[in-house]
């Protein structure tokens, strides 16, 4: 990943109880008096990776990163009880108050865009701006694309591998069939399905095959907890009504925002970013012409860093009187 800020270690870490037995791992990087920004990782269930810290300018940002319920270093690992979008929205408020932050910029990728939009629409007064990378709205059409065969036209051999463990008479609902098996109390049996699930996620997460990503998604200690949480959210449509996040855009149209999407994103096709931008004309949409889903792809990395710089500048130097609508940020990456 080129162009990122230097590797950084947290200047503070926290264990934050949020109820129902869940305790979140939270870290802060950058400078304590910097512009507050919260990072929302993908998945759900994916957890933090250290490189995420490098998107933030250590001289400019106070970046808050955390493992969502059941993910990464949060406990209990892989737990789906009391784990919904709305629990995570409440967790963000708990963390914000715990750290004494009045409002913050929201940066999310993939599932993190879903959570970021849900949070911002629930608490628009606590958000200063948004950077959204690889938009996922969890509509029925998006879930059917990924889990019910739409993507098979581009990945026929991988789709055949993905559905092979599911009996033919259950393939009218591949997502539901996987969900039942991933949550089998027999973890050894469930782990076999998690390997196939993890491979499908990995092979569609970058424009070019990434052996390290494939190994990570199918690793024994990672595959099952992540697959359980991800399937739990997917089978419930993210605990959202279909189109809810588009219908709620009017609550946040006054906030500066940049939307970045790879042209060839197989997990989160750019139609969702486009639909969001049509409902949010004040936001800036940048389609990266030579990229897929991964934030590690050079064009996506470049545009996310650019977006963070621009939205941070808006936060640092707000223009006009209260209620003044600033012009949109310039240009498309395409």
User: Looking at the structure, do residues 50 and 124 belong to the same domain, yes or no?
Assistant: yes
User: Looking at the structure, do residues 80 and 97 belong to the same domain, yes or no?
Assistant: yes
Residue that is last in its domain, among 191, 223, 239: 239
The SS3 assignment for 314 reads: helix
Rounded distance between C-alpha atoms, residue 32 and residue 4, angstroms: 20
Rounded distance between C-alpha atoms, residue 296 and residue 307, angstroms: 15
| Residue 329: predicted pLDDT | 64
User: Looking at the structure, do residues 20 and 106 belong to the same domain, yes or no?
Assistant: yes
User: Looking at the structure, do residues 123 and 257 belong to the same domain, yes or no?
Assistant: yes
Q: Is residue 333 part of a domain?
A: no
Catalytic site residue from 123, 179, 293, 294: 293
User: Looking at the structure, do residues 43 and 132 belong to the same domain, yes or no?
Assistant: yes
User: Looking at the structure, do residues 220 and 277 belong to the same domain, yes or no?
Assistant: no
User: Looking at the structure, do residues 66 and 155 belong to the same domain, yes or no?
Assistant: no
Residue that is last in its domain, among 209, 239, 269: 239
Strands 104-109 and 127-133: parallel
Number of domains forming the structure of the chain: 2
Q: Which residues of 198-229 are buried (b: 16+ CB within 10 A; e: fewer)?
A: bbbbbbbbbbeebeebbebbbeeebbbbbbbb
Q: Is residue 4 part of a domain?
A: no
User: Looking at the structure, do residues 230 and 248 belong to the same domain, yes or no?
Assistant: no
Catalytic site includes residue 74: no
pLDDT tens sequence for the chain (334 residues):
679 999 999 999 999 999 999 999 999 999 999 999 999 999 999 999 999 999 999 999 999 999 999 999 999 999 999 999 999 999 999 999 999 999 999 999 999 999 999 999 999 999 999 999 999 999 999 999 999 999 999 999 999 999 999 999 999 999 999 999 999 999 999 999 999 999 999 999 999 888 988 998 999 888 999 999 999 999 999 999 999 999 999 999 999 999 999 999 999 999 999 999 999 999 999 999 999 999 999 999 999 999 999 999 999 987 643 333 445 565 554 4
Q: Is residue 329 part of a domain?
A: no
Instruction: Give helix 211-218 / helix 187-203 axis angle, nearest 10°.
Output: 160
Rounded distance between C-alpha atoms, residue 36 and residue 103, angstroms: 7
The range of the structural domain enclosing residue 276 comes to 12-138+240-316
Catalytic site residue from 110, 206, 272, 294: 110
CATH of the domain at 247: 3.40.50.1820
User: Looking at the structure, do residues 183 and 306 belong to the same domain, yes or no?
Assistant: no
Catalytic site includes residue 123: no
User: Looking at the structure, do residues 172 and 29 belong to the same domain, yes or no?
Assistant: no
Q: Is residue 322 part of a domain?
A: no
Q: Is residue 269 part of a domain?
A: yes
Catalytic site includes residue 33: no
Q: What angle do CA 248, 325, 118 make, to 5 degrees?
A: 20
For residue 76, give Cα distances in angstroms to 20, 69, 128, 227: 10, 8, 32, 15
User: Looking at the structure, do residues 266 and 292 belong to the same domain, yes or no?
Assistant: yes
Provide the 10 A C-beta neighbour count for residue 122.
Answer: 17
Q: Is residue 323 part of a domain?
A: no
Q: Which residues of 81-114 are buried (b: 16+ CB within 10 A; e: fewer)?
A: eebbbebbbbbbeebbeebeeeebbbbbbbbbbb
Q: Is residue 7 part of a domain?
A: no
For residue 268, give Cα distances in angstroms to 22, 86, 163, 184, 282: 29, 22, 20, 28, 22
Those residues whose C-beta lies under 8 Å from the C-beta of residue 97, and which sit 6 or more positions away, are none
Residue that is last in its domain, among 239, 255, 281: 239
For every residue of 116-142, DSSP letters joined together read HHHHHHH-GGGEEEEEEES-----HHH
Instruction: Give the per-residue SS3 of 80-120.
Output: CCCCCHHHHHHHHHHHHHHCCCCCEEEEEECHHHHHHHHHH
Count helices and strands (H / E) in the chain: 11, 8
Catalytic site residue from 57, 67, 91, 265: 265
| Residue 210: predicted pLDDT | 87
Q: Is residue 29 part of a domain?
A: yes
User: Looking at the structure, do residues 100 and 184 belong to the same domain, yes or no?
Assistant: no
């Amino acid at each position: 990943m080129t162009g990122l800020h230097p590797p950084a270690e947290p200047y503070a870490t926290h264990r934050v109880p949020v109820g129902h037995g869940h305790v979140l791992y939270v870290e802060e990087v950058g400078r304590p008096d910097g512009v507050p920004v919260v990072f929302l990782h993908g998945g759900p269930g994916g957890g933090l990776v250290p490189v995420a810290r490098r998107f933030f300018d250590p001289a400019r940002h106070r970046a808050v990163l955390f493992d969502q319920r059941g993910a990464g270093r949060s406990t209990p690992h892989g737990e789906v009880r009391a784990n919904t979008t709305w629990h995570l929205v409440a967790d963000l408020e708990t963390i914000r108050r715990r750290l004494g932050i009045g409002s913050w910029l929201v940066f999310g990728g993939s599932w993190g865009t879903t959570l970021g939009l849900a949070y911002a629409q629930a608490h628009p007064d606590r958000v200063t701006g948004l950077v959204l990378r690889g938009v996922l709205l969890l509509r029925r059409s998006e879930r059917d694309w990924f889990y019910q065969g739409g993507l098979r036209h581009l990945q026929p051999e991988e789709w055949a591998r993905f559905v092979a463990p599911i009996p033919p008479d259950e393939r009218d609902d591949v997502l539901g069939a996987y969900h039942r098996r991933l949550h089998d109390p027999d973890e050894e049996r469930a782990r076999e399905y998690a390997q196939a699930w993890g491979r499908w996620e990995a092979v569609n997460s970058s424009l070019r095959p990434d052996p390290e990503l494939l190994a990570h998604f199918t690793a024994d200690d990672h595959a099952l907890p992540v697959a359980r949480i991800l399937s739990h959210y997917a089978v419930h449509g993210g605990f959202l009504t279909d189109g809810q996040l588009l219908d709620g855009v009017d609550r946040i149209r006054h906030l500066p925002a940049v939307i970045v999407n790879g042209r060839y994103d197989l997990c989160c096709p750019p139609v969702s970013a486009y639909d969001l931008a049509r409902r949010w004309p004040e936001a800036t949409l940048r389609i990266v012409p030579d990229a897929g889903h991964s934030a590690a792809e050079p064009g996506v990395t470049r545009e996310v860093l650019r977006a963070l710089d621009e939205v941070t500048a808006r936060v640092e130097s707000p223009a006009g009187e209260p209620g003044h609508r600033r012009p949109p940020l310039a240009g498309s990456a395409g």
